[in-house]
Amino acid sequence: MNLSLGITAAVLLSRCSRVSSRSAVSNADANTTQLYRSEDGLLSLDLEASAQQLRLGNRTANVLTYNSQMPGPQLEARPGDTVQIRFTNRLKQPTNLHFHGLHIPPTGTGDNVFLEISPGESHTYEFQIPEDHPAGTFWYHPHYHGLVAEQLFAGLAGLFIVRGDLDDIPEVKAAQEAALVLKDLALDRRGNIPNPGHMAQMTGRIGDLLLANGQLNPEIKVAQGELLRLRLLNASPSRFFQLSLEEHPLFLIATDGGAISAPIELDNLVLAPGERAEVLIRATQTSGQYRLFNTPFNPVQGMMGGGMMGGGGMMGGPSRQRRTETVATLAYSGTTTETPIPTALLPIAPLPEPQMVRQFTLNHGMGRGMVFLINGQVFDHNRVDTQVSLGTVEDWEIINTGTMAHPFHVHVNKFQVISRNGQTEPYAAWKDVVSVNPGERVRIRMAFRDYTGKTVYHCHVLDHEDRGMMGLLDIQSA
């Protein structure tokens, strides 16, 4: 089964226009992403986490991989499909898998982040994607508390795409498609990942190398006139991205949890760690090359660069992070007939008024080194912090009384941001990560409709999560 899917993916890569866009992102040292698509309602594969040595430009990188790749294979399924992942841990430390953004059970063989898969052990994840699951850009990564930042930074992450409603909108369907997994990395002269310095305790580890699909500045080919649909994931443990494309506005069509109701034109797009976005780009400029820039984004003045690791070291690091850098290049090649931007996408129904409003205060303090707190406490897997009842709607107020931005993330159920410091959000969107700035009070609304069981919410600066900024959520049947 695994073998046949692998071959199918290879055949699809060369034959199907939709999939061939994967190969549009390529360059000399391309580490081409393997693609697994569901067939006849089943996505079945073997997935192995292991240490590998990869080429990165002209250097060697000793990283952690899924199926020897960084990022890991791209998985694709449709609503209603069954997913079976036979996972094996070939690392020297425990790990597990989390399916970030998927609305699936948090228990058993589903999105169970409490599992500990020891070195050499295997576990089969098996779940069904609900029939009414929205299409979107989701992802998978390790979630073993205490090691999440380290394992993600070392390379363990991959896309999990659900194809459905949004993909059927004619203009979106006609678009050329590419995905960029954005992640920073740090390497010492021997190609090893250095230990995070002292400041990384505060800001989280931040690397000086900006990778897109495991490459430095890969090229995305597009025909003049074409509409490009770009899926973007910030798979960095701590680094924010602020993206802009030379001479091309970005038309936002989807956020973490799927489509928004109509495209929104943006000059730049900020992605906090864990966040995703899909944008359309009209390739209607003069034929040429256009750089996709990352401009340093500083949610808090004076804090950036503190946790910088790698080539720049403590001296060159901070200044290097203040520089605008190119993460990928859009290269025109050929011409085609123009596809317009769609005027409408998919409606977003507002959630009913909440039965309950809760508060979550985010801050940090000193414990054994720096600790990060929700309502004054560090995470304890034996303590239930928040108990909710199935069939209810809740508002959560996330209050940041600290000095750093904290991207707040909830597992299993997506939410809508209602307001920031009392100001209504400009447009409705489904989210599962929302960045909360120092001094901000962000109100989110969530419905608990189907799955019961224990899961978590946490800061997606994963060094903060590993140092305690996580809470346990127990969803109980009414």
Residues that bind Cu ion (CB under 5 A): 100, 406, 411, 459, 461, 464
Total chain residues near ligand C2O (CB under 6 A): 9
Binding mask 132-171 for ligand C2O (x = CB under 6 A): ---------x-x----------------------------
- When the beta carbons of 100 and 248 are compared against Cu ion, the nearer one is 100
Of 100 and 445, the one with the shorter C-beta distance to ligand C2O is 100
Q: Which residues are within 8 A (CB) of 226 and not within 5 positions of it... i.e. 6 or more apart?
A: 175, 176, 283, 336, 338, 339
Tell me the residue number closest to ligand C2O, measured at CB.
100
* 453 interacts with, out of ligand C2O, Cu ion, none, CB within 5 to 8 A per kind: none
Paired with 323 in beta bridges are: none
Contact between 248 and ligand C2O per CB under 6 A: no
Among positions 449-468, residues that touch ligand C2O (CB under 6 A) are 458, 460
d(CA 115, CA 389): 24
Q: Which does 232 bind (CB under 5 to 8 A by kind): Cu ion, ligand C2O, none?
A: none
Shortest Cβ distance from residue 397 to Cu ion (Å)? 17
In the region spanning residues 268 to 307, those forming contacts with ligand C2O, defined by CB under 6 A, are 274
Residues ≥6 apart with Cβ < 8 Å to 107: 451, 452, 453, 454
Binding mask 410-439 for ligand C2O (x = CB under 6 A): -x----------------------------
Q: Which of 379, 398, 383, 404 is nearest to 443 (CA)?
A: 398
Q: Which is nearer to ligand C2O, 134 or 142 (CB)?
A: 142
Residue with tokens 């020897």: 68
Nearer to ligand C2O, 241 or 251 (CB): 241
Least distance to ligand C2O, CB of residue 329, Å: 28
Which has the closest alpha carbon to 213: 12, 47, 14, 22? 22
- Does 98 help bind ligand C2O (rule: CB under 6 A)? yes
What is each CA distance from 67 to 34, 46, 72, 147, 155, in whole angstroms?
9, 8, 7, 20, 11
Select 103 or 443, whichever has its Cβ closest to Cu ion.
103
Rounded distance between C-alpha atoms, residue 413 and residue 133, angstroms: 11
Residue found under tokens 């924010």: 240
Tell me if 406 contacts ligand C2O by CB under 6 A.
Answer: no
